[in-house]
Structure 1
Amino acid sequence: MKSNKPLQAPPERILVIAMQYLGDVLLATPLLHSLKTHYTEARIDVLVYRNTVAMLEGNPDINYAITTPNRPKFTDYLQLLPQIFRRYDVTITLQTGDRPFLYSVLASPFRVSVVPPKKSTGWWKRYFMQRWLEHDDNDTHTVLQHLKLLDLLEIPRKFSLIPPQIKDAQQLALRLPCLADGSRYVVLHPHPQWTYKRWTIEGWVSISHYLINSGYKLILSGGPADSEKAYIDEIADQLPENVINLAGQVTLAELATIIAGATLFIGPDTGITHLAAATGVPVIALYGPTNPVKWAPWPNNFNQNTNPFHKVGNQQVNNILLCQGEADCVPCHLEGCDRHRQSRSHCLETLAAETIITAINKVLNLSTTSNLQS
């Protein structure tokens, strides 16, 4: 929707507010790329949470990333205010929350934002925007919803996700010879941020043995949190010693490079699975409660104004094979069976390793089944 206020084109300074989770920041990169392609001379900055800025490392479409804590103190607000107050011609806000709204109002006289639907909390925020779009949490993929904001400015869409980039890939190859010696390797990322998105340790161990017996080297990836490293260690302890455990040992940009050289990536509904999709490598994504229409990985080279995936069923689009838990309630759009982030999800607990092995065979064109080991 539009107000009567015209945009002074072309804007010289643009701020994109993307205060979301790690994967959400990556899903904002098509919007950033569209902006930079259209406004080639503009300065484009982003405002993100401090723990997500690594997803933008080396991104050629932005000039500067302003960071803020997830839970800012008063002193954090004082530090942020002079960085944004009336410093931009346009702000584009990708979420409906109160803090992004406030920052948008402070930063620019011309504001474009997604806003809450009518009859919901915060519906009134649209009246402070020069262009706005109602948030759709069910039927529009996140990438497309972001790009619809650019439609309000008559900016052509670019659909490519831009993964973080490292400066010295050769140095990384010295640490991991499998990146340069032609080895066939598979990257597994078993641990999502929230428990309700987890598959089973038994499942990860089973498919790991299958891949090893099929002749592939194995890399386990994970973040630096102690709980995440402990989870990965529990899997690694049941595998041969030559399995490479990189949990907490590489940056996001380094991990993107590692994944890009893999034969296959397998992961749950998490930001790293979105990252893998952006590299173009074949991806098997394990989904349960989450709605794939809204949150499935965006397929590589999918340049269409339509949702890539349907709500229900195992599906393949370009480099993404989405394997969904089998239950009548899938996807429930809820935080697991107990309705909180540390909940179990029955649909993922009952997702059989054989189902994922079938997907592996399809992606890797394996016609025979190796002996499974427990």
Structure 2
Amino acid sequence: MCARVPGGRHISGRGSSRQVRALHRDERCLFRRSGRAVQIATLLVCLFGDLGDTILTVPAVRALRNRYPESRLVLLAKPESAAFVARLGLTDSTIEIDKHAFDRARDLSRPTSLLALAKLSRRVRAERADTIVLFGHLASWFGALKYALLAFATGARRRVGLDNGRGWFLTQAAKDEGFGVRHESEYWLEVVALLDARGPAVLEAPISDEERERAGALLEPLLTESGPLVAVHPSTGWYGPGRKWAPERFARAIDLLESSHPVRCVALGSDGDRLEIDRMLGAMSKPALDLTGRTSVGELAAVLERCDVLIANDGGIGHLAAAVGTPVVSVFGPSNDRAWRPLGSTVVAADLPCRPCFYREFETGLRNGCGTRQCMLLVTPDRVARAAEKLLAGAGSRVV
């Protein structure tokens, strides 16, 4: 329960700074409870995650756009994420950021990083934003410091985000109860609700007619075959490689799936996923269509849109599939499925008390998992194949 702030209270003498902080927290709570609408001229939205994280913020950004159609909405994000959201028509302007230039405290001692930081500060200040919304957890003291510096650099008088105890610089805050207590998409909807912006957790992905035509052309070699179209992605993003299930296990799961009924298989990924995909393809009994490195993000979404199911690790491609309505079998190991499962997906994970160890409670935890990664070893190809079979039985086959 949020406390009411007494009116006209004067604070002075020893201990006043502690009382000021207490009143500051109370004021934030009152704002959260009242849900009052505010006047916003320029709104700066900050999200520094990769594509999968960005997809999960789209419902919240959509809610902001719908609630404040006349406000100028500026997005600060990594290039791929900025381009994705811009294609949805939700922003008036974008600022691209090289987040990795400021990932570690020692990076700030490098002249190039300091120059980049100064340039970024001038750029965001020039937007004259009166409100900044931060889509991110304050999982470390350095992360909180970065967000605080950014927030103050904008000059915005209204600073909104999640608070796990490190958000002293926020003026309005939703309570961060820890990774996985709420799904990430729900957390971001709670944040924008502080600004009286509300909406459903509906994911979106922009696809043009040209991208759909390109997807059809790429999948043309499979037109002579019959059976459901199964996409498979045995890699994951650069952050947290411990999330990768063995490529040979993906191959075995596809073989088991094909033993029950014919399927058409397509391997998806970027050029950076080539090693894992080649290992998987080399272990498969039946050849698959290899589209590795042959699609843009929009074309990848269009290919997924035509698939009957995607089998993948925890990663952005699962969220992209969910955004286009394709069922997903998602393999989770060290990472937190309650926080990042693709919406509507079937999660296959080991039931171990030690997992998740990556993004657990309020800390980042073990990016690569533990030394043995038992949680990945206990996920068998048979379990993954059976999960895919159930989804295929319920969905039927799509027309390619």
Distance 1:156 1:340 in 2: 33
Distance 2:158 2:372 in 1: 40
Specify the alignment match of 1:147 in structure 2. Answer: 189
Note if 1:43 corresponds to 2:84. no
Note if 1:81 corresponds to 2:121. yes
TM-score (norm 1): 0.80
- Three-state SS of the structure 1 residue aligned to 2:100 is coil
Specify the alignment match of 2:234 in structure 1. Answer: 190
Superposed counterparts of 1:51-200, under 5 Å: 52-56=81-85, 58-72=87-101, 73-87=113-127, 88-95=129-136, 96=138, 97=143, 98-118=145-165, 123=166, 125-126=167-168, 128-138=169-179, 139-166=181-208, 168=210, 169-177=212-220, 184-193=228-237, 194-200=240-246
Higher deviation after alignment, 206-215 or 345-354: 206-215
Distance 1:43 1:241 in 2: 53
Between Structure 1 and Structure 2, the one with more helix by share is 2
Shift of 1:191: 0.6
Shift of 1:331: 3.3
Specify the alignment match of 1:238 in structure 2. Answer: 283
Distance 1:353 1:49 in 2: 35
Change in 2 beyond 3 A, CA 1:85/1:344: farther
Change in 2 beyond 3 A, CA 1:357/1:242: closer
User: What is the percent sequence identity of the aligned residues?
Assistant: 20
Specify the alignment match of 2:323 in structure 1. Answer: 278
Shift of 1:51: 5.1
- Larger of the two Rg values belongs to structure: 2
CA RMSD of aligned residues (A): 2.9
Shift of 1:31: 0.7
Q: How many residues get paired?
A: 336
Shift of 1:354: 1.0
Q: Is the 8 A contact 1:207 1:356 kept in 2?
A: yes
Distance 1:347 1:8 in 2: 46
Q: Is the 8 A contact 2:358 2:366 kept in 1?
A: no
Specify the alignment match of 1:322 in structure 2. Answer: 347
Shift of 1:358: 1.4
Specify the alignment match of 2:8 in structure 1. Answer: none
Specify the alignment match of 1:257 in structure 2. Answer: 302
Shift of 1:93: 0.6
Note if 1:205 corresponds to 2:251. yes
Shift of 1:353: 1.0
Shift of 1:181: 8.8
Q: Is the 8 A contact 1:31 1:150 kept in 2?
A: yes
Shift of 1:224: 2.5
Distance 1:136 1:23 in 2: 21
- Name stretches of at least 5 consecutive residues in structure 1 with no aligned partner: 300-319, 367-374
Shift of 1:249: 2.2
1:80-122: CA deviations, max 9, x gaps? 233310521211011232323322222242333335433xxxx
- Three-state SS of the structure 1 residue aligned to 2:185 is helix
Distance 1:185 1:111 in 2: 48
Distance 1:274 1:200 in 2: 21
- Name stretches of at least 5 consecutive residues in structure 2 with no aligned partner: 1-24, 102-112, 395-400
